[in-house]
Chain A
Amino acid sequence: MKIIKDNHIVDNGWHYIAEHDPLSTGDITVSLARWESEKAQLLNHTGKLGVRLVPGDAVAALAQDLNSIQLIELDFPDLADGRLFSLAWLLRGRYGYQGEIRATGRYVAEQVYYLSRVGVNAFAPQKQEDLPAIQACLSDFSVSYQPSIN
């Protein structure tokens, strides 16, 4: 599967670890609940670590761990759930997270300009054929009225 990262189409090398699946080798993502319950074990993992967040998650819970996390996925259950926009802003603006923030799930290309402004720098499409639309929508606007992350 390909994604867009920092405005380029690249391969996704990450493995999605479902809630009750064993951890695999390589670069893996887990839910916030699993991160919290298996943190010690995860910190000894040899590959890179990613945490998947959903709208109700409190990012403050991750604040102390951000240096150990290379990817945070914001998983949209529904394109209308705007909480993830604030979670992205908090991760970048308040907690200074420098790693990758990736939008996943049920968002649409038309939202990626806003997502990029609040600090999301990678986009996993729902369908591979959405990639060109996502890339095009990243430059929907060349001006903005208010400060945000970007």
Chain B
Amino acid sequence: MYRYNEIDQRLVDERVAQFRKQTERFLKGELSEDEFRPLRLRNGLYVQIHAPMLRVAGPYGLLNSKQIRKLAHIARKYDKNYCHFTTRQNIQYNWPKLEEVPDILEELASVQMHAIQTSGNCMRNTTSDHLAGVCVDEIEDPRPYCEIIRQWTTLHPEFDYLPRKFKIAVSGSQRDRAATQFHDIGLHLVKNETGEVGFRVLIGGGLGRTPVIGQVIKPYLEQQHLLSYLEAILRIYNLFGRRDNKYKARIKILVRETGLEKFNAMVEAEWQLIKDGMELSAERVAAVKTHFTPPPYEADADQNISFAEQLANNKAFATWYKYNTARHKMPGYQAVYLSLKAPDTPPGDMTDQQLDAVADLADQYSFGEIRVTHRQNLVFSDVKQGDLFALWQQLDGLKLATPNIGTATDMICCPGLDFCSLANAGSIGIAKEINAALDDMDYLHDIGELKINMSGCMNGCAHQSVGHIGILGVDKKGVEWYQITLGGSSENEAAIGERLGPAVAKHEVTNTITTILDVYVKQRLDDEPFLDMVNRVGIAPFKERVYENN
């Protein structure tokens, strides 16, 4: 993974000093709340119901064991012994004290981390595929480009006060695991006719109140023009994006109101004026790539004999292997998911003790690296087959081996009313209830691949509109109601879920979900996955059953 040089380190150190000064000025009354707000937001600090919330950047989801130990230490010393992993591969603390945040940032800087631009109307953490560099369907490893974009976006002087937040995602594989079609800019590594690797550029995707699937603005962009093209888009957006209404300020609205063709022409005109002046050199790309060379894999890792026996003799291990590991490009290795969706835990939360233990396990079994997935789980990307059994046993002891990755209880869920001042609904409580109703693992596995996403409000932090089943908390005269959608997807076949019908009451949500699953089980063809069935039959049969008593 990327290691800071002297310049990177100095930049984050100076950022800490700057924020310390800003916080002092605010506490002394030299900066008003309105003046301090955008500054603290650009350092990841929100003001929430109970306390400030601090969002720490997980650069394209990559962390090392030392950083994980630091996150544990921060949870212990400054928070209530836990933290939360988010859908944008970041880390959140729910209970820091404002006056201690500069100290927390200093602790983070000591392990090459920061909270720069994790909120506010600026360019956010670039996200990517959690299986980057190890998956079998990769065109090219996206991480070096993510790092180049990370550096370009960090403290960009011209684009720090945009009309609204701005998110970039990069995917390098056939299968899109980074939801690139739902980002302000989605970049897909592709090969042209001559076999060179460049980018297909999508523009104007997004979730939230107005979910939109991104459109292709450039089918093929040569690598050397990556940054100039991003700059052209950002300059047009900064100058012409709407600032009169924050709900219409994302680039998707500018693209829609301008029209893709005209927007494209504006970007193209701007780009032609700057592209030759800021080419990304092959040397620069090569230098960044040296940070992402493969770890020292063992050539005979697939010769292990005990692994096959363990699989054959231990059903629980075999189930975990089936659901919680993924194929690796190297024979004898697997990528392992650590499920942060144990039945009795808020989705995405981890305690300091789990974090410390995970850091040790990563050192022992996966070259000291940990990845955060956009479905709020962790990944050990490089585990030898022969180590899987021992790792599984230890993860099981840590409650990180629930074999539910990709199933109904692997829910994406926002913090909801329990922590967030925007929320209308207590998402965590509902998630717990659904979990309790789906506690039969055999049933869960029979249902198979199913993505349930639940957000506590229209802002859609948990991407409910692209869940196979989406659940959205809405407020009706002070009462929590829930809108259910079916058929969304953030992957290659991107789709926005269709609303099932009128919102259901809080106490009916779990029942509604189990009814939907029942319809699926009865009407599916052979091993047809849930999403395929919804696409085949539409929502009518589900709607009929869910509302039959109304």
Does A67 lie at the interface of the complex (its beta carbon under 8 Å from any beta carbon of B)? Answer: no
In the assembly, what is the distance between CA of A111 and CA of B243, in Å?
19
Contact assessment for A145 and B238 in the assembled complex, using a CB-CB cutoff below 8 Å: no
B158 touches A86 (CB 8 A): yes
What are the residues of chain A within 8 A of B154 when measuring CB–CB?
145
The answer to whether A148 and B161 have CB atoms under 8 Å apart is: no
How distant is the Cα of A55 from the Cα of B10 in the complex, in angstroms? 33
Q: A62 on the interface (CB 8 Å rule)? A: no
Closest to A88 in B: B158
* A63 lies within 8 A of chain B by Cβ: no
Q: Knowing A108-B35, A141-B18 touch, does A147 contact B160 (C-beta < 8 A)? A: no
16 A-B pairs (CB sep. < 8 Å) = A79-B161, A80-B38, A80-B161, A85-B158, A85-B161, A85-B238, A86-B158, A110-B39, A111-B161, A113-B157, A114-B160, A115-B157, A141-B11, A143-B10, A144-B155, A146-B157
Alpha-carbon separation in the docked complex, A146 to B151 (Å): 8
Q: A85-B160, A86-B238, A141-B14 are in contact. Are A108 and B278 (CB under 8 A)?
A: no
B-chain residues with CB within 8 Å of residue A143 when the two chains form the complex: 7, 10-11, 14
B contact face: mostly helix, strand, loop, or mixed: helix
Give chain A interface residues in 64-114, CB to chain B under 8 Å.
Answer: 79-83, 85-86, 89, 94, 108, 110-111, 113-114
> How would residues 153 to 187 of chain B score, 1 for a CB under 8 Å from any chain A CB and 0 otherwise?
01111111111000000000000000000000000
Within 8 A of A (CB), among B255-276: 273
Q: Which residue of A lies closest to B120 (CB)?
A: A80
3 smallest CB-CB distances across A and B, nearest first, come from A82-B161, A117-B157, A114-B157
| Contacting residues of chain A (136-150) with chain B, CB-CB under 8 angstroms | 136, 140-148
* Cα(A146)–Cα(B238), bound, Å: 17
Complex interface: chain B residues within 8 A of A115 (CB): 157
Say if the beta carbon of B31 comes within 8 Å of chain A: yes
**Residue B247 at the chain A interface, CB threshold 8 Å:** no
The answer to the question of B119 belonging to the interface, with a C-beta cut-off of 8 Å to chain A, is no
Interface size class of B (residues with CB under 8 A): 35 or more
A118 within 8 A of B: yes
CB closest chain-A residue, reference B39: A110
Q: Could you say which residues of chain A place their CB within 8 Å of the CB of B18?
A: 110, 140-141
A133 within 8 A of B: yes
- Residue B22 lies at the interface, judged by CB distance under 8 Å to chain A: yes
Question: Is there an interface contact between B25 and A118, defined as CB atoms closer than 8 Å?
Answer: no
- B157 and A85 contacting across the interface, CB-CB below 8 Å: yes
B14/A142 in contact, CB under 8 A: yes
Specify which chain B residues have a CB less than 8 angstroms from the CB of A80 in the assembled complex: 38, 121, 161
A148 close to B158 (CB less than 8 A): yes
Whether A140 contacts B14 by the Cβ 8 Å rule is: yes
Provide the bound-state CA to CA distance between A86 and B18, in Å.
23
Q: Which residues of B contact A146 (CB under 8 A)?
A: 151-152, 156-157, 227
Any A CB within 8 A of the CB of B390: no
Question: How far is it, in angstroms, between the C-alpha of A140 and the C-alpha of B159 when the chains are bound?
Answer: 17
Taking the closest CB of chain B, its distance from the CB of A90, in whole angstroms, is 8
Q: A113-B157, A145-B156 are in contact. List 16 more A-B contacts (CB 8 A).
A: A79-B38, A80-B161, A82-B160, A85-B158, A85-B161, A94-B273, A108-B31, A110-B31, A114-B157, A115-B157, A133-B30, A141-B155, A142-B14, A143-B14, A144-B11, A145-B155
Q: Mark B22-40, 1 if CB is under 8 A from A, else 0.
A: 1001000011000100110
The residue on B at minimum CB distance from A141 is B14
Partner of B162, one of A82, A113, A141, A148: A82
B431 CB to closest chain A CB (Å) equals 35
Residues of B within 8 A of A142 (CB): 10, 14
Q: Within 8 Å CB of A133, what residues of B?
A: 25, 30
Q: How far is the CA of A145 from the CA of B151 in the complex (A)?
A: 6
B235 at the interface (CB under 8 A from A): yes
B299 within 8 A of A: no
Distance between B189 CB and nearest chain A CB, rounded to angstroms: 22
Q: How far apart sit A31 and B25, CA to CA, in the bound complex (Å)?
A: 34
CB-nearest residue of chain A relative to B17? A140
Q: Please give the distance in Å from B293's CB to the nearest CB on chain A.
A: 23
Bitwise, B124-163 to A at CB < 8 A (1) or not (0) is 0000000000000000000000000001101111111111
Which residue of the partner chain B has the closest CB to A145? B151
Which residues of chain B are within 8 angstroms of A81 by Cβ–Cβ distance? Answer: 161, 243
CA distance A123 to B81 in the complex (A): 45
C-alpha gap A30/B259 in the complex (Å): 35
Is B278 within 8 A of A147, CB to CB?
yes
Distance in angstroms from B7 CB to nearest chain A CB is 5
Inside 8 A of B235's CB, which chain A residues have their CB?
Answer: 86, 89
Q: Is B239 an interface residue (CB 8 A)?
A: yes
Inter-chain contact A118/B158, CB cutoff 8 Å: yes
